[in-house]
Amino acid sequence: MHEQETQTEYIVTTDGLVKSYRLGDGSDLTVLDHLDLRLPKGKLIMIMGRSGSGKTTLINVLSTLDDFNEGSVRLLDREYSLMNPKEKEKLRRNQMGFVFQSVALIPSMTAIENIDFGLRTAGVKQGREERIREVLEVVGLAERGNHYPVQLSGGERQRIAIARAMAHRPPVLFADEPTGALDTESGHHIAQLFKDLAEKEGISIIMTTHDLKLAQMADMLIRL
Amino acid sequence: MIRYLLTKIKNKYKLYACLICGMVAMTMIFSMIQMFRLGSLNKVIQRGFIKQNSITGVYPASVSGVLDITSFTLQEELAAGKSVADTINEQAESYAANWKKSLQLPVVADQRFLYFLNVRPEYGYVSNNMVINLGCLDDGLDPAAVKDHYTLEAGVDYYEDISEYAGRGAEIPEDAYPCLISRYTADSCDLVIGEVLSFPFLVYTNGNTINDQKVLQVYISGIISEKPDDYYWQKSLSKGAPMLILTKEDFLKISTEYTKECKCEVYQSLDYRDITSERVGRVKSILAKLKKKDDKLEENITPVLESYRVESRSVQQMVYVIVLPLMVLIITFIGLISFRIIESETRELQTLRDRGLSKLRLIQTYFLSAFFLSQISVPIGIVLGFFFGRAVAGVADFMGFTAPGTISVSEYVFNPSMVVAAEIAAFLAILINLVPVLLFFRKKKDQRRISIVPFWERYFLDVVLLAVSVYLLFNYNKQLTVLSDSVMKGDGIDPVIFINATLFLFACGLLMLRLIFYLITIVYKIGRKHFSPATFAGLLQIIRTRKSSGVISVFMVVTVAMSLFHANMARTINSNIEARLQYEAGTDLRITEKWPITMVKSFDDEGNTVMKWRYTEPDFGIYRSLVEDGTCTRVTKVANNDSLVVTMGKAAIRNVQIMGIQTREFGETAILKNGLNKQHFYTYLNDLGAEYEGALISSNLARELKAKEGDSINCDMLPPKVTGMKNPFATAKVKIVGIVDSWPGYQRYHYTQGEEGEIIEEEKYLVVMNYPFVNANYGMFPYQVWGDLPDKGKFEYKEFRDRLKGMLLATEREAESVLSWENEVAMNKESAIIQITNGLFTADFLIALLLCVIGYMIYWITSIRDRELLFGICRAMGITEGEVNRMLVMEQLFLSFMSILAGVGAGLITSKFFASVFAAVYLPQKHNVPVFVSSPGVDTIRLSAVLIVVVIICILWIRRILKGLNITRALKLGED
């Protein structure tokens, strides 16, 4: 009964998670050392730490982009170590959304098409147009749907990337330094958007940052 | 700065390697053109001399003149105490040396005659009033070598024992001088060996005699003939007045004793290999000056140089216009690579600008790197141009590379203009390389955005260019006859024809590309709601990035179209020439022998004197032996001349070609391409064979006579031209059993040049009859021997010709011509125009293909690297590797395969439309064999196969990149 409660309460859990890299001299560098995490659903969770502390590694492992060495990672009861690459791809496609620090939009597509691409990738066949309109409203760029990425500012581009990441209503959205390339004000707007998404759409947002001010907006803060 | 440049080049070595490839291609082509241009011009000159030699049978670069050494010209020298002999010698030497000094051409033979003109021997021996030249032969190069130039046919040489021949004429006095004579002199003066001639009166042409000195006596010691194939004999012993040939020493002695006035004829054979294109003008003007000064000077060089002047214009134009599309392609290639370099360095350039580096300084950097690379390219380009140029000059056909020596490429040598041309190419390459840099700095930062539609598509440049070229093509098609006449007259080729073909090709290619994009857009619009993410992204990528990716598409379309068009044109020209030569020959081997003709006096019924002639038929056994020894599978006699006068009613046609054939043998020996007549030519042969008094006539003759099958026509035969008689001597009535448009060996159109250079087209007519009927009605007249060869393509023409010549010579016979169409084709392939066409079209094809392969691969590989982040994002979002692959394959499919298809389409359309215009240039004469487009498909397959393999390699390469793609690293790379 207790276990059942845990499963419904947390979006991601890790137990004894170890991730190490083999260095050039043959030695191992352990970045994540027996990490036990319980990340709640529908919250804005931020991972903070100095450079090289393993923020990106952690988010990559949690989002199945990277493998781990020991322990277990689960997303909504699904144990990563028991999944093959195809299942992981399916998981990323349907259950996760991604926002990256770099320009993550496809330059040859307009904002609408970029979001549409995300929806298609997630296998959404019906009601895409309505959903695109909705998410554009959510990110506050309803008027810029037909613009190409180069015609948008950095902050706007990142908001479109968020719209794309959330359009298919994934339970969790991973964002690696989404405000890293933005000015303070734009960064604050993005963080606020994440906060609203978590609250209004019930999406769990797991993001990395090194900005202390932004970290104050988090529902849960993990320091590495 | 240098270190920065080197680091920059090292970091993007693939792109810079491609840039060097483009620059090398450019310098190579420029220098190769110079080699081809001068080589072809020299080839035109050399072939001009060889052609003249084959037509006239005379050494083709000879200068001759006559010097009168009179008492007036001798006065000064004699007064200065020189001997008469020395003076004559020196004057003759100085006369001949003047030409050599002025023309500065090596002398390969120097024939001289020194003689007293028209000396009259003592009457009684010879016919009254007979005069004879008394002189000597001299060799200006080596006086002692005179003996090597003649063969003693009968008698003995100078001062040898003549006792065997003594007593045939008068007794040979001791102080008589020996002389040699030619057969011609012996026959025309009725002289025999051992005969003594006295010259009691050395008579001038004005009839004055000199004093009564001791009588000069000369005896005939032998009869000589010229050694065959000896350049020395510019003037044959059988030409001009008969002559008694003394030794030079005796002649000079006699000239001192008897007369101090003589003539000196000089015949110099010059080494025409030294008359190169650069020296043509100089040689021509010197010859004109020499001729102005000396009205007795004659030469046969100027006509060759005149015809060279005419042909050289076409050759030079052709060299440039053929490579024009390739040059455009290379420029596009360098531009394409330069743009990609700038694209890949945009951030770096921006950073450098932000750090305060001026635009000028940055442009300077690019200029330096372009200069550095271009100067590396120059020597490589020259060397490659030289070797590649010689290799392609040696092709026997389009892409038909041959073993060294098969086709003569000796004229294609290194020349300094190649270096100049390579440097010009390097300079151009630098300019092209700088264009993207300048454009980059001209744009403001916010203008550096993707623009979806390329400028040519936006402004319908393809449609406009196509309209212009179609208009020009339409006009040229209307003026095909004028065009052909102008080419035949030697007015040169209108370069606009070639430029227009290039224009059409580019425009057609661009239009096809536009249509492809329209098609993709339609496909996208129709199915966009239902596409998978990969198809959706792939199609959008094609549509939206067509400005940048379209460059490679344009490049590919144009490469394929140009290569195919050039391949088709080269093959069309070669095939048509081959078909025409084969048709003109009518069979594999055609031998025409010189038939002896004897003129005899006879009397007609009224007792009037009439001249009659009789041909002596040479023994046919030699030709039968060709079948026995396996040289030919069969041979047949074909009576052939154009002395027939055909009448029907009031209509009469003269100079009609008559062909007397033995139908069965003719059918087995002759060649006629299908489709030139309404029926197979065997049908006509059967009809003729069935009717002894039947005849086949050409359709133009039927038209002129208004005759039809079953009608009868009168055929009168004119006497041979050598008789000088003009009235028909025999007549026959024949029944028309068939009307043909074409017939083996019958050329309907003949062309001659009028006095004012205009081209006169003459239509020829034909009547074919049974050989026995011809013999029975017109008597025996020369026939040709037609032979069918067993191993077509392996026939050794020269070996056969020499063997036949030897066989005929053994029975004192001579071949007038030995024609093999295969040899004609081979000879034609060595002509400058055909060598340029095959060589440069092959070069175009190979270079374009190479550039296309390099350009295509580098475009995709660099673009895939650029898109690594994008693929990382896609993979992170859960798009499978297979879907990314599908996305790329779709791009390749639409861009590459469609481009290849568009190129093939554009190439075929251009070939079809421009074949007639090109034919007017290359094959200006009307012919029985109409121009046909040869597009064997092998080139399309070859070209497409190479490109498809390249596309597949690219796909596999991309797959490899994607397989090794680390998503997190790709994302990190994007952040960096």
Summarised one tens digit per residue, pLDDT across range B431-471 is 999 988 888 877 655 544 555 677 788 889 999 999 999 99
Structure tokens at B863: 């673009």
- Within 8 A of B536 by CB-CB distance, chain A residues are 116-117, 120
Q: Which range, B208-212, B478-482, B790-794, is most confident?
A: B478-482
Point out which residues pair with B695 in neighbouring strands.
Answer: B736, B769
Query: What is the pLDDT, as a whole number, of residue B399?
Result: 80
Chain B interface includes A55 (CB < 8 A)? no
pLDDT at B502: 85
Judge if B24 and B14 occupy the same domain. Answer: yes
Q: Are residues B326 and B348 in the same domain?
A: yes
What pLDDT, in 10s, does the model give residues B611-657? 778 888 888 888 999 899 888 899 999 999 888 999 998 888 988 99
Averaged pLDDT, B700-722: 91
What pLDDT is recorded for position B680? 92
Q: Hey, is the C-beta of A121 within 8 angstroms of any chain B C-beta?
A: yes
Residue B516 forms part of a structural domain: yes
A20 close to B (CB below 8 A): no
CA-to-CA separations, B648 to B469, B656, B710, in angstroms, rounded: 50, 13, 13
Residue of B530, B540, B877 for testing the chain A interface, max A β-carbons within 10 Å? B877
Nearest chain A residue (CA) to B548: A108
**B218: domain range?**
62-270
Predicted confidence (pLDDT) at residue A70 exceeds the cutoff of 60 = yes
Residue B128 has pLDDT above 60, yes or no: no
- Please indicate whether, in this complex, the C-beta atoms of A56 and B972 are within 8 angstroms of each other: yes
pLDDT of residue B375: 93
A-B contacts (CB, under 8 Å): 79
Claim to verify: residue B734 and residue B609 sit in the same structural domain: yes
Q: B945 in a domain, yes or no?
A: yes
Q: Tell whether B183 lies on the interface with A, counting CB pairs under 8 A.
A: no
Instruction: Answer whether A120 sits within 8 Å of B972, measured CB to CB.
Output: no
Averaged pLDDT for residues B11-34: 88
DSSP annotation string for B851-911 = HHHHHHHHHHHHHHHHTHHHHHHHHHTT--HHHHHHHHHHHHIIIIIHHHHHHHHHHHHHH
What single string gives the DSSP state of each residue in B727-740? S--EEEEEEEEEEE
User: Do B873 and A91 make contact, defined as CB atoms within 8 angstroms?
Assistant: no
What pTM, to 2 d.p., does this model score? Answer: 0.74
Nearest CA to B331 out of B423, B414, B243, B435 is that of B435
pLDDT for the residue B963? 75
> B532 contacts in A (CB within 8 Å)?
120
Is residue B297, in this structure, part of any structural domain at all? no
Within a domain: B287: no
Asked whether B653 and B707 are in contact (CB, 8 A), the reply is no
Q: Is the same domain home to B104 and B77?
A: yes
Per-residue pLDDT of A91-129, as tens digits, reads: 888 888 888 776 578 888 899 999 998 888 888 888 889
Residues in chain A closer than 8 A to B531 (CB atoms): 120
Same domain, B118 and B251: yes
pLDDT of B202 reads: 60
Q: Are residues B571 and B712 in the same domain?
A: no
Whether the predicted pLDDT of B782 surpasses 80? yes
Helix (H) or strand (E) holding B598: strand B597-603
Most confidently modeled range among A187-196, B116-125, B297-306, B853-862: B297-306
Residue B342 lies in a domain: yes
pLDDT surpasses 80 at B847: yes
Q: Give phi and psi for B396, each to the nearest 5.
A: -90, -15
Q: Is A152 within 8 Å of chain B by CB?
A: no
- Position B169 scores a pLDDT of 53
Percent share of chain B, pLDDT over 90? 21
In sequence order, the β-bridge partners of residue B481 are none
Residue B506, domain member (yes or no): yes
pLDDT digits (tens, 9 = 90+) for B402-433: 777 777 788 888 889 999 999 999 999 999 99
Whole-complex ipTM = 0.82
Answer with the one of B409, B424, B449 that is the final residue of a domain: B449
**Residues B17, B111 within the same domain:** no
Mean pLDDT of B867-876: 76
Q: Worst-scoring range by mean pLDDT, A80-89, B7-16, B27-36?
A: B7-16
The answer to whether A93 contacts B879, with C-beta atoms less than 8 Å apart, is yes
Same domain for B239 and B155 = yes
Decide if pLDDT at B893 tops 90. Answer: no
The pLDDT, as a whole number, for residue B72 is: 59
Average pLDDT over residues B886-906: 81
For the cut 60, the answer to whether the pLDDT of residue A3 exceeds it is no
Higher pLDDT, B941 or B466: B466
Looking at the partner chain, which of A63, A89, A120 has a beta carbon nearest the beta carbon of B536? A120
- Which residue of B533, B544, B975 is in closest CB contact with A102? B975
Are residue B920 and residue B842 in the same domain, yes or no?
yes
Q: Are A65 and B967 within 8 A, CB to CB? A: yes
Phi, psi of A141 (to 5 degrees): -125, 35
Counted domains in chain B: 4
Residue B87 pLDDT exceeds 60: yes
Tell me the pLDDT tens digit for each residue of B193-205: 888 888 776 644 4
Q: pLDDT tens-digit profile of B514-569?
A: 888 888 889 889 988 888 888 888 888 888 877 767 777 887 888 888 888 888 88
Return the pLDDT at A32.
Answer: 85
Calculate how close chain A gets to B8, using CA atoms only, in Å: 25
Chain B residues inside the 8 Å CB shell of A176: 971
Task: Name the band, by pLDDT with cuts 50, 70 and 90, for residue B949.
Answer: confident
Query: Is the pLDDT score of B735 beyond 60?
Result: yes
Mutation target to probe the B interface, by most B beta carbons within 10 A, among A120, A168, A210 is A120
Q: Contact A92/B877, CB-based, under 8 Å? A: yes
In this complex, is the C-beta atom of A83 within 8 Å of any C-beta atom belonging to chain B?
no
Min Cα–Cα distance to chain A from B933, Å: 44
Q: Is the pLDDT of residue B827 over 70?
A: yes
pLDDT digits (tens, 9 = 90+) for B163-186: 777 655 557 788 889 999 998 888
The answer to whether the Cβ–Cβ distance between B968 and A56 falls below 8 Å is yes
Residue B880 contacts A where some CB pair is shorter than 8 Å: yes
Q: Where are the beta strands (DSSP E) in chain A?
A: 10-22, 28-40, 44-48, 70-75, 78-79, 96-100, 172-176, 204-209, 220-223
Using the 3D structure, point to which of B422, B449, B476 is the last residue of a domain.
B449
Asked if residue B290 is part of any domain, the answer here is no
**Domains of chain A in sequence order:** 2-223 (3.40.50.300)
Q: Tokens standing for B5?
A: 């440049």
Q: Sort out which chain B residues have CB atoms less than 8 A from A66's CB and list them.
A: 968
pLDDT tens digits for B115-126? 888 777 765 455
Residues B899, B553 contacting (CB under 8 angstroms): yes
On whether both B223 and B138 belong to a single domain, the answer is yes
Task: Read off the tokens for A133.
Answer: 């309109």
Please indicate, yes or no, whether residues B114 and B242 belong to a single structural domain of this protein.
yes
Inform me whether the C-beta atom of residue A94 falls under 8 Å from chain B C-beta atoms.
Answer: yes
pLDDT band (50, 70, 90) for residue A5:
very low
Quote the mean pLDDT of chain B. 83
- For B658, the enclosing helix (H) or strand (E) is strand B651-661
Q: What is the pLDDT of residues A133-154, one digit of tens each?
A: 988 888 888 888 889 888 888 8
Q: Is the pLDDT of residue A4 over 60?
A: no
Partners of A209 in beta bridges: A48
Nearest Cβ partner for A102 among B537, B544, B974: B974
Contact B878 A94 (CB under 8 A): yes
Confidence at residue B244, expressed as pLDDT on a 0 to 100 scale = 92
Establish if A156 touches chain B: CB-CB under 8 angstroms. no
Confidence of residue B361 (pLDDT cuts 50, 70, 90): confident
Instruction: Calculate how close chain A gets to B538, using CA atoms only, in Å.
Output: 10
Chain B 442-461, residues with CB within 8 Å of chain A CB atoms: 449-450
Given this model, what pLDDT does residue B866 score? 66
Q: Is the pLDDT of residue B683 over 90?
A: yes
Compute the distance between CA of residue B916 and CA of residue B921 in angstroms, rounded to an integer: 9
What is the end-to-end Cα distance of chain A in Å, rounded? 32
Residue B511 lies in a domain: yes
Whether the predicted pLDDT of B714 surpasses 90: yes
At which residue do the structure tokens 């390329």 appear? B454
Q: What is the mean predicted confidence (pLDDT) over B837-848?
A: 84
Q: How confident is the model at residue B685 (pLDDT cuts 50, 70, 90)?
A: very high
CA proximity to A44, closest of A179, A171, A217, A166: A217
- A92 in contact with chain B, both atoms CB, cutoff 8 A: yes
Instruction: Specify the pLDDT at position B976.
Output: 46
Q: Cβ neighbours of residue B936 under 8 Å, at least 6 residues apart? A: B571
A216 to chain B, any CB pair closer than 8 A? The answer is no
**Which is more confidently placed, B59 or B124?**
B59
Residue B6 binned pLDDT confidence (cut-offs 50, 70, 90): confident
Within an 8 Å CB–CB cutoff, is residue A87 touching chain B?
Answer: no
Is residue B973 predicted with pLDDT exceeding 70?
A: no
B279-314 pLDDT, tens per residue?
Answer: 899 999 999 999 898 888 889 898 888 888 877 877
Integer Cα distance of B451 and B458 in angstroms: 11
Mean pLDDT in residue range B774-803 = 86
Cβ of B544 within 8 Å of Cβ of A109? The answer is yes
Question: Which chain B residue shows the shortest CA-CA distance from A67?
Answer: B968
Q: Does B904 touch chain A (CB under 8 A)?
A: no
Q: Is the pLDDT of residue B386 over 90?
A: yes
Q: Which of B449, B890, B968 to mutate to test the interface with A (most CBs of A within 10 A)?
A: B968
Q: What pLDDT band is residue B695 in, cutting at 50, 70 and 90?
A: very high
A120 touches chain B (CB under 8 A): yes
Q: Looking at the structure, do residues B21 and B77 belong to the same domain, yes or no?
A: no
